[in-house]
Amino acid sequence: MSHEKLEFHFGQNIVNDMLQKAYDLEFDELICVSYNVNLDYAFRLIDKYGFKLVIYANTEKITLNKNNFSTLERYVSKGVIELNHISENLSVIHSKFYLFRNRKEPILLAIGSPNFSQNSNQNYESLCYITNKDSIEQFWAAFTSSEVTSIPPLTNDIPPSFTAINVIPENQQKYLDSLWIHQQNILTWLFRKGTGIVNIPPGTGKTRISIQYLKMLFETKSTYSGIILVPTLTLIEQWAKLVSEIGLDHYELTNNISELSEYISNPNNKVLITLYSRFFDHQDGLYKQLRISSPDLILVYDECHNLYGKLAAVTSFRNNMKKYSNVLELGLSATLDSFKVDEMNEFIDYMGGISSRYEISLPAFYSNYNNLNKTPILKNIKYIPLKYYLTNEEMKKFDSFSRKVAMQMGRVDIENNNHFGAAIQRAQWLRSLNGGSQILQDYIQANIENFTTKSTIIFVQSHQIAEEIQQFLVQSPGWERTSSVYIYDSYQNDVYRDHALKQFKKNTGFCLISERMLSEGFDLPKVDKILLHGSHRSERDWIQKIGRAIRYNSQDSEAVADIIDVVFCEPSGLPLDIEKERYRTLESISV
């Protein structure tokens, strides 16, 4: 392709000129990959030139006058238009190229700046034309084998945004005003859906969306009541504060249903907040009391992965309440993933399936949402991978574990439960390798001054590794003796953990070493550095973990979050397959 003579066009009306050029070459099909696509414009071109249109674009960037929806349905049913779209929440297609074919043979490829819309004709745009068949086929083969076309949500259905009939009433538009743009999009979607899962990165405002949704529902219907389930006592306090700020009465279920007499007697436009464990213990009694007043309910599942494997209780409560009132459900999480994939899928199905999940991936958030508002939402990230290369013997052991994982995939027992023990064992074995701990210690020693002046959380997999790292830190030459380092884990009592958290808030040069998540309901101050070495419950819980460091601070607008990551690699140097997603994602968003 480098020796081919290329034709270059620049100016206005360039999309119309491109279509005329292709028409002169007798095209009968256009494959369009474009960030923005206007279907009303496409209809006019199809009527004028008569061709099949194949579109690859982001769902949210495909626009259509709703009066022309029947035209879209007709063209799709007849095969005149084929829609391949992926939500921009997962991956944003910024490319713009146009492949023209005649009887499936490529005749023209145009690559450049214009989107497929009339607006692009009014701007100054540029296009490069390629007519060499071999070059075009090479280009197209590269696209069709790319990650974009293999992402599971890629679909040829009509985008759901076109079929939506319910919009937020004008008198409730005020609830969108104070929100970030992505929150506005989600709240509009949620109001239309009723029930759904909000699955967006940490620090991007899941709770705020929920609060506004509660306000909208309560204004819509005076009989709505909210029940919020959370995993920690700290989250109860945080939710209670937020609910009070919007002027709603709230109550807490502790150990006895009788404590809730005021709420149960008149639950309308009031909120009950409780732990998952307490709800599971008392859900039968709560149902028997609430069925008398029969309020419409919105059930909010904060950190909703806490429902995995425990859906029976909430299903019973929901189904019983549905006999008497309307029930909506809202799940909130930065990551739904779990080693026990069947439990995750069961929860998604329970909530209405994939169409009821609003997901924004971390790369999509940084590339498309983070800077749409007056100030950024998340900090920039500096990614520092620490690569440990498995020895040949370790690689053989890893491959052996992987074969067991593959064998267990899809296997079920007599109760139809899947097995994922091998996946958990593989992760535990990999992270326990001495080489991984050693490369982490080497990094700490080489950068010890940074650890004595910044707030750091080190995530490890086990209590044993936590103790090893703690001893290494405090005994290292250069460690500032006035700084502190604590282990936060399931072995320490509440008094110790409370003291550790208080020390963290008071000191700089402080390290917390956690074998558990410190991201669900812990009130921590700003964190400068995150070290990743270990997985608590899934291969993707690192998304929760880095959330502690990436929240934007307007008082320190230039701050960058350091993410130091132990990456296990094949002897050749390539990251292991189970490491690739994390490695590639963090590398792609790193400054």
Domain containing 105 — which CATH number? 3.30.870.10
Asked if residue 2 is part of any domain, the answer here is no
What pLDDT shows up at residue 165? 44
| Pairing label, strands 105-112, 97-102 | antiparallel
Instruction: Enter the tokens of residue 203.
Output: 């620090």
Asked if residue 317 is part of any domain, the answer here is yes
Q: Which helix (H) or strand (E) holds 434?
A: helix 434-446
Same domain, 360 and 485: no
pLDDT band for position 3 (50/70/90)? low
> How many angstroms separate the CA atoms of 264 and 282, rounded?
14
Same domain, 317 and 389: no
pLDDT band for position 4 (50/70/90)? low
Q: What CATH number should be reported for the domain holding residue 557?
A: 3.40.50.300
pLDDT band for position 414 (50/70/90)? very low
Residue 366 is classified by DSSP as I
Helix, strand, or coil (residue 382): strand
Same domain, 393 and 434: yes
Return the closest-CA partner of residue 314 out of 349, 288, 280.
280
> How many angstroms separate the CA atoms of 55 and 45, rounded?
14
Backbone angles phi, psi at 127, to 5 degrees: -140, 140
Which pTM does this prediction carry? 0.78
Q: How many domains does the chain have?
A: 3
Residue 40 to residues 53, 79, 370, Cα–Cα distance (Å): 13, 17, 30
Same domain, 77 and 143: yes
Asked if residue 146 is part of any domain, the answer here is yes
pLDDT band for position 454 (50/70/90)? confident
Task: Please state which of the ranges 91-105, 121-135, 472-486 shows the lowest mean pLDDT.
Answer: 472-486
What pLDDT shows up at residue 179? 92
> How many angstroms separate the CA atoms of 337 and 343, rounded?
9
Residue 415, pLDDT > 50, answer no
Residue 199, pLDDT > 60, answer yes
Residue 412, pLDDT > 50, answer no
Same domain, 353 and 433: no
Q: Which helix (H) or strand (E) holds 344?
A: helix 341-350
Domain that residue 217 falls in: 165-369
Same domain, 581 and 449: yes
User: 9-25 burial, b for 16+ CB within 10 Å, e for fewer?
Assistant: eeeeebbeebbebbeee
Residue 1, pLDDT > 60, answer no
Which of 127, 161, 195 is the C-terminal boundary of a domain?
161
What pLDDT shows up at residue 397? 93
Task: Please state which of the ranges 66-75, 151-160, 465-474 shows the lowest mean pLDDT.
Answer: 151-160
Instruction: Tell me what the mean pLDDT of segment 122-148 comes to.
Output: 89
Asked if residue 129 is part of any domain, the answer here is yes
* Structure-token match 């008149």, residue found: 266
Instruction: Enter the tokens of residue 99.
Output: 């492949």
Return the closest-CA partner of residue 289 out of 269, 270, 266.
266
Q: How many CB atoms lie within 10 A of CB 70?
A: 9
Asked if residue 1 is part of any domain, the answer here is no
> How many angstroms separate the CA atoms of 178 and 229, rounded?
25
What pLDDT shows up at residue 100? 97
Which of 340, 369, 398 is the C-terminal boundary of a domain?
369
Task: Please state which of the ranges 161-175, 423-437, 520-534 shows the lowest mean pLDDT.
Answer: 161-175
Same domain, 364 and 389: no
Which of 161, 192, 217 is the C-terminal boundary of a domain?
161
Same domain, 194 and 340: yes
Instruction: Enter the tokens of residue 387.
Output: 């690569």
| Pairing label, strands 270-275, 224-230 | parallel
Return the closest-CA partner of residue 521 out of 501, 492, 496.
501
Instruction: Tell me what the mean pLDDT of segment 469-492 comes to.
Output: 82
* Cα diameter, the chain: 82
Percent helix, percent strand, percent coil in the chain, to nearest 5: 45, 20, 35
Q: How many CB atoms lie within 10 A of CB 232?
A: 17
Residues 6+ apart with CB under 8 A from 145: none
Q: What CATH number should be reported for the domain holding residue 354?
A: 3.40.50.10810
Asked if residue 49 is part of any domain, the answer here is yes
Q: At what angle do helices 392-408 and 421-431 cross, to 10 degrees?
A: 160
The answer to whether 303 and 270 have CB atoms below 8 angstroms apart is: no
- DSSP states along 70-132: HHHHHHHHHTSEEEEEE-TTT------EEEEEETTEEEEEEEES--BSHHHHHS-EEEEEE--
Q: Which residues pair with 389 in a beta bridge?
A: 569
pLDDT band for position 243 (50/70/90)? very high
- DSSP states along 557-586: TT-EEEEEEEEEE-TTSPBPHHHHHHHHHH
pLDDT band for position 6 (50/70/90)? confident
What pLDDT shows up at residue 411? 52
Same domain, 352 and 398: no
Asked if residue 374 is part of any domain, the answer here is no
Residue 365 is classified by DSSP as I
Same domain, 326 and 418: no
Sign of the torsion formed by the C-alpha atoms of 521, 335, 353 and 73: positive
What pLDDT shows up at residue 157? 64
pLDDT tens-place string over residues 268-295: 999 999 999 999 999 999 999 999 999 9
Same domain, 547 and 457: yes
Instruction: Tell me what the mean pLDDT of segment 466-479 comes to.
Output: 88
Same domain, 266 and 339: yes
